[in-house]
Amino acid sequence: MSESAPPAVTDRLAVTGIEVVGHHGVFDVERREGQTFRVDLVLALDTRVAARSDDLADTVDYGGLVTRVKEAVANDPVDLIERLAERIATICLADQRVAWTEVTVHKPEAPIPAVFGDVALTITRSRP
């Protein structure tokens, strides 16, 4: 009997535009006054079981996930959005059904002495 690899996870769940005030940054003014951060999430997971059962227990509860992400951004300030994005990716991967995640952290109020639309970092992390 030959073993075949499990099918690749191709289903994606996206939650975009999560807005949270955080106090992240390397400058004192950023830590003191805070600023708005926006977070976009993409999660890769197999949704077939949930599609058959129509039961929230069989999929990622994105409402609960958003709550955890908001708490991660609102608390425990860090200097770099790289570290913040990594923290958020870890939260997303805590659910064993998530094969990989793409996290984008937007920092539209970054202290840059120029007119600009946004600063955004996107990372992709997967299970080892």
pLDDT of 7 over the 70 cut: no
- Residues of the chain by 3-state class (helix, strand, coil), percent to 5: 30, 25, 40
User: Residue 127 burial (CB < 10 Å; 0-12/13-18/19+)?
Assistant: exposed
Q: Is 25 left (phi over 0), alpha (psi -120 to 50) or beta?
A: left
pLDDT score recorded for residue 3:
60
State mean pLDDT over 29-56.
97
Both tokens of 32, joined, read: 């003191």
Measure the CA–CA gap between 2 and 91, rounded to whole angstroms.
36
pLDDT score recorded for residue 4:
60
Measure the CA–CA gap between 106 and 16, rounded to whole angstroms.
11
70 belongs to the catalytic site: no
State mean pLDDT over 100-121.
96
CATH class of 12-126: alpha beta
Confidence of residue 128 (pLDDT cuts 50, 70, 90): confident
Of 30, 39, 41, 107, which one is the catalytic site residue?
Answer: 107
Measure the CA–CA gap between 47 and 37, rounded to whole angstroms.
29
**Tens of pLDDT along 58-98?**
999 999 999 999 999 999 999 999 999 999 999 999 999 99
Neighbour order of strands in the sheet with 100-106:
12-22, 35-44, 100-106, 120-126
Hey, where are the domains in the chain?
12-126
Can you give the length of the chain in residues? 128
